[in-house]
Amino acid sequence: MNIHTPLPMTKTAPVAAAAGCDRVQRTREGDECGLANTARRPEPVRYAADRSLRQRLQGSALLLPLVTAMALAGCAGLPDQRLANEALKRGDTVLAEQNYRQLADLGYSDAQVGLADIQMETRDPAKIKQAEATYRAAADTSPRAQARLGRLLVAKPGSTEAEHHEAEGLLKKAFANGEGNTLIPLAMLYLQYPQSFPKVNAQQQISQWRSAGYPEAGLAQVLLYRTQGTYDQHLAEVETICKAALNVTDICYVELATVYQKRGQPEQQAELLKQLQAGHARGVISAQRVDSVARVLGDASLGKTDEKTAQALLEPIAPGYPASWVTLAQLLYDFPELGDVDKMMQYLDNGRAADQPRAELLLGKLYYEGKMVPADAKVAEEHFKKAQGKEVAADYYLGQIYRRGYLGQVYPQKALDHLLTAARNGQNSADFAIAQLFSQGKGTKPDPLNAYVFSQLAKTQDTPQANELAQQLEAQLPPGQRAEAQRLLQQEQAVRGALSQNTLELHALQEEDGEESL
């Protein structure tokens, strides 16, 4: 092991970003056979989608016999894309993949895209490459694939300037073909890579979209405020934008809940929640959206919490939307007065039974910290490993277990591998841990060069501990190593290019029009 030498630049694992590729397709009204129609879309979008459907029907010799068979057989035993969409929305990837694959084999481009969406959800670099290839193969005829590929390229770490311009072209083309969730990633593209688009002013472009009356443009404006860190200064405008778009873009429930929580307006919040619950009861608002709003209510960083209301929102939807079991468990973790350890374990068992990696992560944290259960590093390690690759924090905690010697000895190389993966996927606290690893030298030789590099990266946390360590290590760095330290720092920052913390924190804009983003 040669841990004390400057770090090589290893492969970066892709990370979820606000304006990326969707993993859940919109549920549309359809006939009994699962053939989607576009009756609920605005007129221009509907016509574009109808043209796209006709093109697909005309372009594939396999589809006409299939449609005829559906009409004659009443669809018995045939794969169903609507069923696949709903299964994926519930988190049942097995059923979704089964139906998507059968339809994809018959030549349905939307089903091919659905398969690729499932591959994106794994966050496995190899499967993400497969998904990118699938999107590319379908992009010539499928506006949905164009939009997905464009969003993937926007979120792709270390993407090239050529890919930035490719993403712009794909997103514009998809928008012209009636696809939603294209203006927000376009705005993100311009905000993240201004050097690739020197003639584009993001604010001016968003203002033009808003003047043209595109509903998505208002959310692009909210995105700009979040990215620039000026969200709190524009709460009134965010409220105006989202009130106007609430009936067509239900992500605005999350934004309005955030605004009312930041302002401390419980009456407005209560009225919003009534609308949310009524919409969910009518089937026009997804359980996922209800879950997102409940998370806002339990987020202390946004203002005074309303954890009891959050719990009341989540319990009815959890049986049909298993991710909410984990959100409920997280509420009990943050607010133990809401229930005892038995209720916590019941929530987590339900989540684990539905293969929710967040459940494994939270259970690992309980044993790691000794909160509500006896501390047990070995059990914690087992649960973190099950969440690894799907939850960024799993690598962080595994790195800490190995760095701190919780299993009986320090494993410095394993600690570094996990912490570096977490850091490059946006876990700020991992940089501080790596700086400690290199500066303290537990189990390995101290390395002031790499200690300096990661302490500088950790300064983005802006905590007293991180700032103090960075100042201390900067003073200790030999003058002869400063130029090399700056080179390594810039190299590491370049690897993380697309992993802006502002981007990662745009949780409320990860979804648009019912679709979940990469």
Q: Under 8 Å CB-to-CB from 228, ≥6 apart: which residues? A: 502
Side chain identity at residue 500, one-letter code? S
Least confident among 52-66, 184-198, 305-319, 382-396: 52-66
Contact between residue 509 and residue 213 where contact means Cβ atoms under 8 Å apart: no
Residue 148 vs residues 134, 180, 227, 462, 518: alpha-carbon distances, Å: 10, 11, 22, 35, 9
| Residue 84 reports pLDDT greater than 90 | no
pLDDT digits (tens, 9 = 90+) for 140-190: 888 989 999 999 998 887 788 999 999 999 999 999 998 888 998 999 899
Q: What is the mean pLDDT of the chain?
A: 79
| Residue 90 reports pLDDT greater than 70 | no
pLDDT for 261 equals 97
Contact between residue 296 and residue 258 where contact means Cβ atoms under 8 Å apart: yes
Summarize the confidence of residues 346-354 as an average pLDDT: 95
CA 352 to chain centre: 20
| Residue 369 reports pLDDT greater than 70 | yes
| Residue 118 reports pLDDT greater than 80 | no
| Residue 60 reports pLDDT greater than 50 | no
Residue 81: pLDDT band (50, 70, 90) is low
User: In angstroms, rounded to a whole number, what is the distance separating the alpha carbons of residues 338 and 131?
Assistant: 41
DSSP SS3 for 511: strand
pLDDT for 326 equals 96
pLDDT digits (tens, 9 = 90+) for 265-324: 999 999 999 999 999 999 999 999 999 999 999 999 999 999 999 999 999 999 999 999
pLDDT for 299 equals 96
Q: What is the 3-state secondary structure (H, E, C) of 195-255?
A: HHCCCCCHHHHHHHHHHCCCHHHHHHHHHHHHHHCCHHHHHHHHHHHHHHHCCCCCCHHHH
Contact between residue 171 and residue 189 where contact means Cβ atoms under 8 Å apart: yes
DSSP SS3 for 335: coil
- To which residue do tokens 């033009």 refer? 208
HSE value, Cβ hemisphere, 13 Å, CA-based, for 318: 22
Q: Under 8 Å CB-to-CB from 271, ≥6 apart: which residues? A: none
pLDDT for 127 equals 79
pLDDT for 272 equals 97
Summarize the confidence of residues 101-127 as an average pLDDT: 72
Higher pLDDT, 518 or 290: 290
Count the neighbouring beta carbons within 10 Å of the beta carbon of residue 479: 6
Contact between residue 293 and residue 276 where contact means Cβ atoms under 8 Å apart: yes
Contact between residue 470 and residue 456 where contact means Cβ atoms under 8 Å apart: yes
Least confident among 99-113, 329-343, 368-382, 476-490: 99-113
Residue 88: pLDDT band (50, 70, 90) is low
DSSP SS3 for 267: helix
In the chain, % of residues over pLDDT 90? 51
| Residue 508 reports pLDDT greater than 60 | no
- First vs last C-alpha separation in the chain: 35
pLDDT digits (tens, 9 = 90+) for 214-261: 878 999 999 899 888 899 999 999 999 999 989 888 899 999 999 999
